[in-house]
């Protein structure tokens, strides 16, 4: 069984990857649902499992593409994907006046930054040219949030290129900038054997060409998307309308938008709530259990409670409704995990602390530092020694950084300890409800923090709520589990 994270080919009876320890699952060839390794049929659609290899090259059964003479040619399959094109603006002019080796020394690091950003969010590099890349999200490995992944990758590209440009500027060189175009639509993807040991996985369809056209419209340092992508990511990102545009090869004008940054939404439930949720019905047993846990935590008996259920049953909705009832006299902090979150250390923790420190999305390093400093010292001046660890989480570098030469393991342990100390101290002022959603997607650092809190909150006024899917078994002691079929 091939690992979806590192690509290592494991024996079929393995439950965890022998290369990176990621838990293995069978991907349904019909509906893409991830099943436990022992399943013979998909628990979502009952399709037979194990008939096709769950590898990046073949996540679904191949569809023969007929040729004009009626014979089957290259295997292919129809998919909805998000295509991303990115290139370095002005690279030809830059290379014109430089020796090829000198040009390579400048362009290659930039190209690597772009490739790394795409791969960080599960992108497949279809093509890499001398000054740009074509990346695919949603294939060969299917991801339900592939439009968001593509835009997170684009934002990371722009941020990394700005940092690279700053380094070039200090060396007296002209900084490079990247243009990005993104579009979502249907394509037919197929594998082509281009050599004895080499296979290319490429898409065919109008939507990829549209992404390439959008890239040419983007000004250096910006990302342009189509209306089809906007409908899928609105709220998750900040978008600026650029009006209709006529693209070469496209009959009608299309609306285009510039991606200016992350938006306020993190989950599909938040997006649904913004549009209006249906009435919450039932779940009385689970809601009463949560209320009892909160009352016990208020008396100094910290509680850990877990909602365990299959996708789509209502774990997040249960927490959402409970949060609406538990505001009185409590501080509620939420941490959301996303499917690509394992690639980013402390991602849910940073979101949770952003809410606690009241850090805004537009705050610069100086403003962030002021908010962290004021919150920590206002809470307890004996916590001053924790400040460098919080600054480090947000990339705030001081002139004399005390952590720069610290052993990584020591820094990690002290960072987790600093977060724990602040939360425990805050619970003396008011009860805390701390929610971690979708533990099946968390990174190892966030998992370590949860384990630390489980051991520390026994005599505190903290209610720790977590939810995850049944096939995941987080190492977090024995939390009180809500009924899994209704959670």
| pLDDT number for residue 72 | 38
Angle at 98 between CA 97 and CA 102, to 5 degrees: 165
Give the pairing of strands 223-226 and 177-195: parallel
pLDDT at 321 over 70: yes
**Which residue segment(s) compose the domain that 11 sits in?**
1-55
150 and 220 housed in the same domain: yes
Residues 167, 275 share a domain: no
Residues in the chain: 487
For residue 66, the model assigns a pLDDT of 41
> What's the rounded Cα separation, in Å, for the pair 90 and 101?
17
Beta strands in 67-174, from DSSP E residues, in sequence order: 72-89, 124-128, 132-137
- Do residues 79 and 2 share a domain? no
Helix (H, G, I), strand (E, B) or coil at 365: helix
Residue the block writes with tokens 């835009």? 151
pLDDT of residue 238 exceeding 80: yes
Mean pLDDT of the region 17-33: 60
CATH code at 384?
Answer: 3.40.50.300
- Does any domain span residue 343? yes
- CATH assignment of the domain containing 166: 3.30.70.1230
Beta-carbon count within 10 A of 141 CB? 21
In a domain, 286, yes or no: yes
Residue 50 has pLDDT above 50, yes or no: no
pLDDT, averaged across the chain = 80
Same domain? 312 vs 357: yes
Q: Is residue 104 located within the same domain as residue 72?
A: yes
Residues 236 and 113 reside in one and the same domain = yes
Quote the tokens at residue 116.
């790394």
Domain match, 238 and 309 both: no
pTM given for the model: 0.69
Lowest-confidence region among 144-158, 223-237, 358-372: 358-372
Whether 486 is in a domain gets the answer no
Of the candidates 263, 283, 306, which is a domain's last residue? 263
pLDDT digits (tens, 9 = 90+) for 420-430: 999 999 999 99
Cβ atoms 180, 152 nearer than 8 A: no
How far, in whole angstroms, is CA 63 from its chain's centroid?
Answer: 30
Same domain, 341 and 447: yes
Helical packing angle, 100-120 and 146-170, nearest 10°: 150
Which tens digit of pLDDT belongs to each residue from 253-281? 889 999 998 887 777 776 776 676 677 77
Whether residue 173 lies inside any domain: the answer is: yes
Residues 6 or more apart whose Cβ sits within 8 Å of residue 179: 86, 87, 89, 215, 216, 218, 219, 220, 221, 222
Number of domains in the chain: 3
3-class DSSP state of 280: coil
- Among 76-90, 100-114, 370-384, 463-477, the range of highest mean pLDDT: 370-384
Among 210, 234, 263, where does a domain finish?
A: 263
Q: What pLDDT band is residue 70 in, cutting at 50, 70 and 90?
A: very low
Structural domain includes residue 487: no
Q: What angle do CA 38, 41, 46 make, to 5 degrees?
A: 150
Q: What is the mean pLDDT of residues 478-482?
A: 54
In this predicted model, which residue has the larger pLDDT, 427 or 467? 427
Structure tokens at 405: 């030469």
Is 451 in the same domain as 343? Answer: yes
Q: Are residues 128 and 21 in the same domain?
A: no
Within 8 A by CB and 6+ apart from 484, the residues are 307, 308, 309, 470
User: Which CATH number characterizes residue 41's domain?
Assistant: 2.30.30
Looking at the fold, whether 477 and 448 belong to one and the same domain comes out as: yes
| Predicted local distance difference test score (pLDDT) of residue 148 | 92
CA distance 296 to 480: 13
- Whether the pLDDT of residue 146 is over 70: the answer is yes
Domain membership of residue 98 (yes or no) is yes
Using the 3D structure, point to which of 245, 263, 281 is the last residue of a domain.
263
In a domain, 301, yes or no: yes
80 and 209 co-located in one domain = yes
């Amino acid at each position: 069984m091939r690992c979806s994270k590192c690509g290592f080919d494991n024996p079929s009876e393995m439950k965890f990857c022998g290369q990176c320890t990621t838990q293995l699952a069978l991907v349904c060839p019909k509906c893409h649902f991830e099943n436990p390794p022992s399943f013979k049929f998909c628990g979502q659609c009952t399709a037979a499992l194990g008939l096709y290899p769950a590898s990046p090259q073949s996540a679904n059964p191949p569809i023969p593409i007929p040729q004009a003479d009626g014979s089957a040619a290259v295997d292919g399959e129809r998919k909805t994907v998000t295509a991303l094109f990115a290139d370095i603006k002005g690279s030809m002019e830059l290379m014109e006046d430089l020796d090829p080796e000198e040009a390579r020394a400048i362009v290659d690091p930039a190209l690597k930054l772009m490739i790394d950003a795409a791969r960080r969010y599960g992108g497949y590099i279809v093509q890499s040219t001398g000054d740009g890349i074509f990346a695919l999200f949603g294939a060969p490995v299917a991801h339900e949030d592939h439009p968001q992944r593509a835009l997170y990758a684009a934002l990371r590209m722009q941020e990394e290129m700005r940092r690279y440009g700053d380094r070039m500027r200090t060396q007296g060189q002209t900084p490079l900038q990247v243009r990005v175009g993104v579009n979502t639509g249907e394509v037919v993807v197929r594998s082509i054997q281009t050599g004895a040991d080499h296979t290319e996985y490429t898409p065919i369809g109008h939507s990829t060409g549209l992404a390439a056209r959008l890239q040419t419209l983007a000004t250096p340092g910006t990302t342009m998307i189509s209306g089809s992508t906007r409908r899928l990511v609105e709220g998750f990102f900040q978008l600026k309308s650029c009006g209709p545009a006529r693209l070469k090869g496209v009959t009608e004008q299309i609306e285009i938008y510039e991606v200016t940054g992350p938006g306020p939404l993190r989950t599909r439930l938040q997006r649904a709530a913004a549009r209006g949720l249906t009435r919450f019905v039932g779940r009385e047993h689970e809601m009463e259990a949560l209320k009892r846990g909160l009352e016990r935590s208020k008396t100094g008996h910290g509680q850990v409670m877990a909602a365990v259920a299959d996708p789509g049953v209502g774990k997040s909705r249960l927490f959402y409704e409970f949060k609406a009832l538990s505001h009185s006299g409590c501080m509620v902090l939420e941490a959301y995990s996303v499917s690509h979150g394992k690639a980013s250390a402390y991602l849910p923790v940073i979101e949770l602390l952003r809410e606690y420190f009241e850090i805004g999305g537009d705050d610069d390093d100086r403003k962030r530092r002021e908010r962290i400093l004021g919150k920590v010292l206002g809470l307890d001046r004996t916590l001053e020694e924790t400040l460098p660890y919080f600054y480090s989480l947000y990339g705030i570098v001081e002139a004399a950084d005390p952590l720069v030469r610290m052993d990584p393991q020591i820094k990690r342990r002290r960072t987790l300890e600093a977060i724990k100390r602040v939360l425990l101290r805050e619970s003396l002022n008011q009860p805390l409800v701390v929610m971690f959603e979708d533990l099946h997607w968390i990174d190892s650092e966030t998992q370590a923090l949860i384990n630390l809190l489980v051991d520390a909150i026994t005599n505190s006024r903290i209610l720790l709520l977590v939810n995850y899917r049944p096939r995941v078994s987080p190492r977090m002691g024995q939390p009180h589990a809500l009924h899994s079929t209704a959670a």
